[in-house]
Amino acid sequence: MAKLPDRLDIDKSDRKLYDHDTITNEILAGRTRKEQFLFAMAVGFKNEVKRPLDSREGFFLAKDMRSEDEALIDSVAIHDMGSAEVLSDRKAVFRIAEEYAHAGIKVLYDEATSVQPGSFLKKLELELFSLLDSLNLE
């Protein structure tokens, strides 16, 4: 069996985005690296963008993920590949998550630097309400 990946990576260029004031003080204020990553991944997924990483560096350890966190990245992988078979390939699952996160953090950064301080969360709130209406939660 191939060695299981023990961490999830980000593109090296993304570090400064994750550390940007607006990201750290507002949008992802008080969140762990894992939570930041998963949120960026969700943003990338919602915006249907993912990008392969050019250069890698570790962001957080896989063992820090709880079952909910794994369920999220597994769901993303299943949706991306169209079948559950991808779940046997952890490397592939992680890669998909990383690519969505790589695109997502860029989207977040662009949003954060283009709006008034405090507006991103307000915008997110409105978008989620609108998303809620369009989703079929049953």
Partner 1 sequence: MRIEKIFLRNYRQFRQAEITFRRRHDTDLHFIIGTNGTGKTNLLNAINWCLYGDEPHLSKDSQQLPLLNLKTVDRMDVGKENEVAVEVWTETEHGEYITFKRRAVFRKHNDRKITHEGTKFEVTFNDEKGNTKIATDEDAITWVERFVPKGIREFFFFDGERLDNYFKEATGQNIRHAVFQISQIDLLENCVERKLQDTLDDLRKEAGKTSPKIEGARTELEQAKNKLDEIEKRIKECKTQIEVAKNKVAEFGDKLKGVPDIEALEEERCKIETSLKETKELLGAKEEEKKSLLHESGSILMLWPAIKRATQIVEEKKRNQEIPPPVDKRFLEEVLRNKSCRVCGRSLDDSSSKQVQELIKEVETSSEIAQRLVQMEIPLYQFRERAGKYKEQMEDITRNITRYEKTLTEITQRKEQIDSQMAGYDEKLIREWYRERTKFEDLRDQNQRQLGGLLVMKQGAEGAVEKWQKELDTELKKEEKVKGLTKKIAFCERAVDVARSTREAIMKETRERVEVETKRQFFRLVWKKETFGDIRIKADYGIDLIHSMGYECLGSISAGEREMLALSFTLALHQASGFDSPLLIDTPVARISDVNRENFAKVLCEVSTIKQTILLFTPDEYSEEISRYLGGRASGRYSLKLTSDENEAKVEVR
Contact footprint for partner 1 (CB under 8 A):
28-31, 35, 38-39, 41-43, 45-46, 67-68, 70-72, 74-76, 78-80, 83-85, 87-88, 121, 124-125, 128-129, 131-132, 135, 137
Q: Is 131 exposed, middle or buried (0-12, 13-18, 19+ CB in 10 A)?
A: exposed
DSSP 53: -
Q: Which is nearer to partner 1, 88 or 116 (CB)?
A: 88
Q: Which is nearer to partner 1, 54 or 63 (CB)?
A: 63
The residue type of 111 is: E
Shortest distance, CB of residue 15 to partner 1, whole angstroms?
Answer: 20
Shortest distance, CB of residue 109 to partner 1, whole angstroms?
Answer: 17
Shortest distance, CB of residue 11 to partner 1, whole angstroms?
Answer: 20
DSSP 135: S
Counts for the chain of helices (H) and strands (E), in that order: 6, 2
d(CA 86, CA 80): 9
Q: Which is nearer to partner 1, 53 or 124 (CB)?
A: 124
Count Cβ atoms below 10 Å from residue 3 Cβ, excluding itself.
7
Shortest distance, CB of residue 55 to partner 1, whole angstroms?
Answer: 26
